[in-house]
Structure formats: C-alpha cells, structure tokens
Amino acid sequence: VRHNSGRYNDIDRSLAMPFLKRPTKLDGTHAGDVGFDPLGFSEDYDMYTMMEAEIRHARLAMLAVVGWPMSELNAPNWMLHGPNHLAPSVLNGFDPLSFIAVAGIFGAFGYFEYKTSLRKVDDTELGKKHTEDMANVWKYGVPGDYNFDPLNLYSMFGDTADARKAMRELEITHGRWAMVGITAFAAWEALTGHQIVENSMFFHPNLLLPSLVASYVAFSAFYEVKNTDQYLFRVEMSSEGEARMNNLQRRTANLSKDALEYSKVAFEYAKVATETTIETSKDIKEKYDSINDNYTNYALRNVRKD
C-alpha cells in the first residue's frame, strides 16, 4: 500500500492554526504535517530540503534536551560553567576545556552533515521501502533516512507504509517538543543565571509531578480536546470516556450495595458480640459478688468466734 497525497484536501483551514488557511503544499501527505507554516516557507523553498533540516534539528534536540540536565546533575563542576555550574552553551558561555569539547562535537556533526547531505538512499533496505511507500507522491523517498534501525523499532507498528509513517509521526512530534524544550532551557538559564534542574519538579523527587501526571491520565481517560470551525479549544467527553464513566458508575453503585449489605451483616455481628459481652460481664459480676459475699461471711464468722 502506497501513500497518496492530499489527505487534507477537503480541509480549508490549518489544523495547527485554524484561524489561518491551510498552506497549499501542506496537505497531510508527509509525517508531521499539521498545516503549520505561518511564514509561508513551504511556498518559497524546497519541501524535501526543509523536512530534512527539520528532522536533523529534531534529532539533535532530542539528544540535547536529555544531555543538558544530565550534565548539570552528574557532571563534575570543572566541566560546567560559572559559579552556578551551568551547562556550557552559546548563551551561558564556555570554559577553555568545555569549549574544546563542544567545538570538537560540532565539528564532528558538521563533517557528518557534509558527508551525508547528498547521500543516495534509494538502494538501501529502508530506502527501497520508502521509495515504494512514496511512489505516488514523489521519487525522493523519506527525509532523514540513514538506513539506521539496529533494534528494528521502525517496524514496531508493522511492516507497512502506514506503520512506518506512524513511527515518523512519533519521531518528528517528539523532536519538535525537544526543540521547544532545549530553547526554553537556554533562555531560562541565560535570563536567571541558574541551572534548569535547580528547584525543578522534573529533576528532583517530589509529589507534584506524579500528581500532575495522574491528573492528566485521569482527564485523558474521559475527556478530549477538540478544535472546530467554531471553537479553537473545546473540552468534550469522548465516547470511550462515556463508556468508562458508565462502567465506573455501575461499579460504584454495586460497591455501594455490597457495602450496605456488608454493613448490615457487620451490624448484626456487632450486636450479637455486644449482647454476648454484656451477658458475660453480668455473669462475671455475679460470680465476683458471690465470691466476695462468701469471703465476707467467712471473715465475719471468724471474728465472732474470737
């Protein structure tokens, strides 16, 4: 099964920005296409080149968004910058040693970019699959294809065109969030002069983050956020949420009935136990009084004899 272009041809508005018209070339054909191009780059530049650049930046950002806080949590202070021990960066600055390391890393990445910018991919295992997947769209295959999948994760959803596109959707989505995240890291430290991991719920044990995650999971189990032609942001209960809610109400009602029955039985047991305790206490008191009277009579009898 091949991909066909024009998945969003019947949609006039951008999915990402419903108050703008959908860019002409962003029709849902490629992974990650949600119609976001407010500056119109897709009209003026080559689509494949821009998609290739985006996925490369996304992959670097995913590495950086993990490496940045890990360095501030685990690296020795002499590898970090300044009195607050910040991760070395363009905005934070560099020490001589960290500058040499960063320059070497960027040099290696630059050499890799140079050697792979015009690579041929249609003769590799994944390249052949991508060329076939996209044959109805264009002849270029898929941007970001380095024929690299040592753990065979690319086939996690199946060895089909749609399954491969789903994996690319996941990758570019995570990459875009990573680019936002690493930009936020750099801006925060440049403005405050403090580590991103300092006093952060994401990097130190706390109850707030698990509570927020649990709240999000609970919300997502019942509700979904929609945007329509009329509303940009609207929260509605999903069909699955309605089913879960009905099931929860049914179980709660059954539990309430069971709890009521159990409480009645427990009350009867408590009543019997209370009555038994009272009767036992009376018997013990009577026996105690009898023993006390007998002892008193015995003592008085001995006194009278004297």
Residue 57 burial class via C-beta count within 10 angstroms: exposed 0-12, middle 13-18, buried 19 and up: middle
For residue 140 the two structure tokens come to 């270029």
Extended strands (E) in 186-283: 223-226, 234-237
- Secondary structure of the chain: what % helix, strand, coil (to 5)? 60, 5, 35
Given this model, what pLDDT does residue 231 score? 65
Instruction: State the pLDDT at residue 64.
Output: 93
pTM of the model: 0.68
**DSSP state string for 106-153:** HHHHHHHHHHHTT---TTSHHHHHHHHHTTTT-SS--TT-----TT-G
- Predicted confidence at residue 9, as pLDDT, reads 76
10-residue stretch averages of pLDDT, the chain, 306 residues long:
71 81 84 87 87 92 93 88 88 88 90 82 84 83 87 86 89 95 93 88 83 90 76 78 86 83 81 84 84 77 62
Residue type, 264: K
pLDDT at 54: 93
Query: What is residue 149's predicted lDDT score, i.e. its pLDDT?
Result: 87
Which residues, in sequence order, are CB contacts of 238 under 8 Å at separation 6+?
Answer: 222, 223, 224
Integer CA distances (angstroms), 159 to 135, 156, 170, in order: 17, 8, 16
pLDDT of residue 55: 93
Are 202 and 73 in contact by the 8 Å Cβ rule? The answer is no
How confident is the model at residue 184, as a pLDDT? Answer: 93
pLDDT value of position 176? 95
Asked if residues 137 and 25 have their Cβ atoms less than 8 Å apart, the reply is: no
Q: Identify the pLDDT of residue 141.
A: 83
